[in-house]
C-alpha cells in the first residue's frame, strides 16, 4: 500500500516560522512534524508519495528518495490551489492512504485505519462542528455524507484528514464540476466515494496533536515533556546547580554555577546556560543556544543558534532560529483586563484561548538592549529593534 502525504502549502497561520521553514519540517520536540507520520507508517507501506510545492527543495535535500528503506516519490503541485489538486494525476492502483501533514497521530490510531477491511477516515468528536468537515450519519450510524463547516448541526464527528481510499477517488476528482468558488471540492469527490463504497469512521483513541498556530507548539512541548524521564549524557554541570523534577539534557549541554532548573525542561545539544539562570516549566531550548547570566525562562520554546543575553525574561513565548536577544529584554504576557489573548493571524485577530502569551519571534530577528513588548506581539523574520524600543 502507498501513503500520499499532502505537504504543498505554505500555511500562513504559522508565520513567521513558515517564512523559512515549510510547516511539515517544523521541529516538534526532537523531529519534524512529517517524520511522526513517516515513522508510524514506514513498516507498513511500500512507498511515500509526498505532494510538494512551497520550498520543496528542503524536502528533497533532507529525505532524498528514501526514508528508512521506503521509497519516496515527490509530486509537484504548481498550477491549481485546491487541496487535492495533485492527486487527480496520480497513477495509483488499489487501496492507498491520504494524509495531511498538519498533525501528529499516535502510531496505534494510524495502524487501526491501515488495517481497516474497507475504507474510512480517522475522526474525533468536537463541540463546535461548524468549524470542521463533519460526517453525517443515518439512523443506522452509517456514513452518508461529509459536510464542510455546516451552519446547522448535522453531527459532531470531524474529519482529521487521514483517509483510506482506493483509486476510484482519483476518478471522482476528475468527474466532479468546480464549485461556486471555482474549486474542485474535496467534499464532492468524497461524497461520491462514500455513496459507492463501504466507508467507516474510526474515532481516535490515543493522543492527537494539532499544530495549526504558533502557540500550539507549546502545547506539543507539554505533551512530550510529560512523556520523558530524567536523562543526560556527556553533559557538564558545575557546582551549585539545582535540578528538580524532570529535566532532559542532551549531548554536551553545559550548566554553569548557580543555575536553577525545574519542572519539565529539555536542553538540547551544545547549549550553554550561564550562571544564575532560572529555567522552569515546559521549556525546550534547542541546539547551540546561549542563555546568559541571570535570565529567566518559563513555558517557552527556543530554537537553534539563538542567543538570549543577560537579565532577559522569556515567558510563554516561541522564538525561532538564529535570533539574537540582547540584555534586559522583557515583555508582558498578561492583559490588564485578564481576558484571553487574541493574536493577529493573517491580519485577523484569532482567539488563542490562552490567558498568558508573550511573543512570537521569527528567524534571524535582532532585539537590541532593553527592548520590551506588549502581550501577544509578533516580531517578524529578519526584524530588528532599536535600544529601549517598546513594541506596542
Nearest to 59 by CA among 45, 76, 39, 41: 76
Q: What kind of fold does domain 2-210 have according to CATH? A: Spore Coat Polysaccharide Biosynthesis Protein SpsA; Chain A (3.90.550)
Strand partners, 273: 255, 291
- How do the pLDDT tens digits run along the chain, 392 residues long? 899 998 887 777 788 888 998 888 988 887 899 999 999 999 899 999 998 888 889 999 999 999 999 999 998 877 666 666 677 778 888 899 998 777 888 889 999 999 988 899 999 998 888 888 899 888 777 888 888 888 888 788 998 989 999 989 888 887 877 766 666 667 788 888 999 998 989 999 888 888 888 888 888 888 888 876 555 555 778 889 988 877 777 778 889 999 999 888 889 888 999 999 999 989 999 999 999 999 999 999 999 999 999 999 998 889 999 999 999 998 766 666 667 666 666 666 666 566 566 788 999 999 999 998 877 778 999 999 999 998 87
Q: At a CB cut-off of 8 Å and minimum separation 6, what does 9 contact?
A: 23, 53, 54
DSSP code of 339?
P
Nearest to 193 by CA among 281, 269, 96, 308: 96
Contact 263, 246 (CB under 8 A): yes
Distance CA 315, CA 329 (A): 11
Distance CA 214, CA 318 (A): 7
pLDDT digits 0-9 by tens, 355-367: 566 788 999 999 9
Distance CA 222, CA 32 (A): 16
Rg (CA), the chain: 23
Q: Alpha helix (H) ranges present in 176-271?
A: 186-196, 216-225
pLDDT of residue 277: 95
Q: At a CB cut-off of 8 Å and minimum separation 6, what does 351 contact?
A: 340, 342
Contact 82, 163 (CB under 8 A): no
pLDDT of residue 273: 95
Rounded to two decimals, the pTM is 0.84
DSSP code of 314?
E
CATH class of this structure's domain 216-391: mainly beta
Distance CA 311, CA 134 (A): 49
Grid look-up 547570566 returns: 293
Report the DSSP pairing between strands 272-273 and 254-255. Answer: parallel
Contact 304, 288 (CB under 8 A): yes
Q: Alpha helix (H) ranges present in the chain?
A: 33-41, 56-63, 107-114, 168-175, 186-196, 216-225
From the number of C-beta atoms within 10 Å of its C-beta (0-12, 13-18, 19+), residue 384 rates as: middle
Annotated catalytic sites, by residue?
Answer: 310
Kindly list the domain boundaries of the chain, sorted by start residue.
2-210, 216-391
Contact 231, 363 (CB under 8 A): no
pLDDT of residue 302: 95
Amino acid at each position: 500500500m502507498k501513503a500520499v502525504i499532502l505537504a504543498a502549502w505554505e500555511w500562513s497561520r504559522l508565520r513567521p516560522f513558515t517564512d523559512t521553514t515549510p510547516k511539515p519540517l517544523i521541529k516538534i520536540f526532537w523531529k519534524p512534524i512529517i517524520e511522526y507520520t513517516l515513522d508510524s507508517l514506514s513498516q507498513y507501506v511500500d512507498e511515500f508519495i509526498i505532494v510538494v510545492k512551497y520550498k520543496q527543495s528542503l524536502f528533497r535535500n533532507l529525505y532524498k528518495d528514501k526514508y528508512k528503506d521506503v521509497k519516496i516519490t515527490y509530486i509537484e503541485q504548481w498550477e491549481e490551489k485546491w487541496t487535492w489538486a495533485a492527486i487527480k494525476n496520480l497513477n495509483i492502483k488499489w487501496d492507498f492512504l491520504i494524509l495531511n501533514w498538519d498533525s501528529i497521530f499516535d502510531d496505534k490510531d494510524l495502524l487501526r485505519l491501515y488495517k481497516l477491511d474497507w475504507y474510512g477516515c480517522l475522526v474525533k468528536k468536537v463541540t463546535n462542528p461548524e468549524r470542521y468537515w463533519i460526517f453525517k450519519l443515518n439512523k443506522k450510524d452509517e456514513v452518508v455524507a461529509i459536510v464542510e463547516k455546516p451552519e446547522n448541526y448535522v453531527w459532531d464527528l470531524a474529519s482529521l484528514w487521514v483517509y483510506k481510499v482506493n483509486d476510484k477517488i482519483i476518478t471522482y476528482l476528475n468527474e466532479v464540476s468546480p464549485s461556486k468558488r471555482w474549486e474542485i471540492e474535496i467534499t464532492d469527490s468524497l461524497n461520491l466515494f462514500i455513496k459507492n463504497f463501504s466507508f467507516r469512521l474510526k474515532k481516535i483513541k490515543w493522543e492527537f496533536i494539532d499544530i495549526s498556530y504558533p502557540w500550539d507548539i507549546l502545547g506539543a512541548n507539554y505533551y512530550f515533556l510529560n512523556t520523558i524521564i530524567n536523562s543526560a549524557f556527556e553533559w557538564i554541570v558545575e557546582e551549585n546547580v539545582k535540578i528538580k523534577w524532570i529535566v532532559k539534557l542532551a549531548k554536551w549541554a553545559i550548566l554553569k554555577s548557580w543555575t536553577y532548573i525545574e519542572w519539565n525542561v529539555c536542553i538540547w545539544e551544545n547549549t550553554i546556560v550561564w550562571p544564575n539562570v532560572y529555567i522552569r516549566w515546559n521549556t525546550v531550548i534547542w541546539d547551540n543556544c546561549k542563555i546568559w547570566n541571570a535570565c529567566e525562562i518559563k513555558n517557552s520554546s527556543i530554537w537553534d543558534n539563538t542567543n538570549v543575553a543577560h537579565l532577559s525574561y522569556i515567558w510563554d513565548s516561541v522564538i525561532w532560529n538564529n535570533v539574537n536577544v540582547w540584555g534586559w529584554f522583557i515583555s508582558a504576557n498578561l492583559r490588564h483586563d485578564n481576558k484571553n489573548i487574541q493574536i493577529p493571524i493573517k491580519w485577523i485577530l484569532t482567539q488563542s484561548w490562552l490567558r498568558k502569551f508573550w511573543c512570537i519571534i521569527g528567524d534571524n530577528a535582532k532585539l537590541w538592549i532593553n527592548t520590551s513588548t506588549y502581550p501577544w506581539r509578533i516580531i517578524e523574520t529578519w526584524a530588528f529593534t532599536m535600544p529601549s524600543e517598546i513594541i506596542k
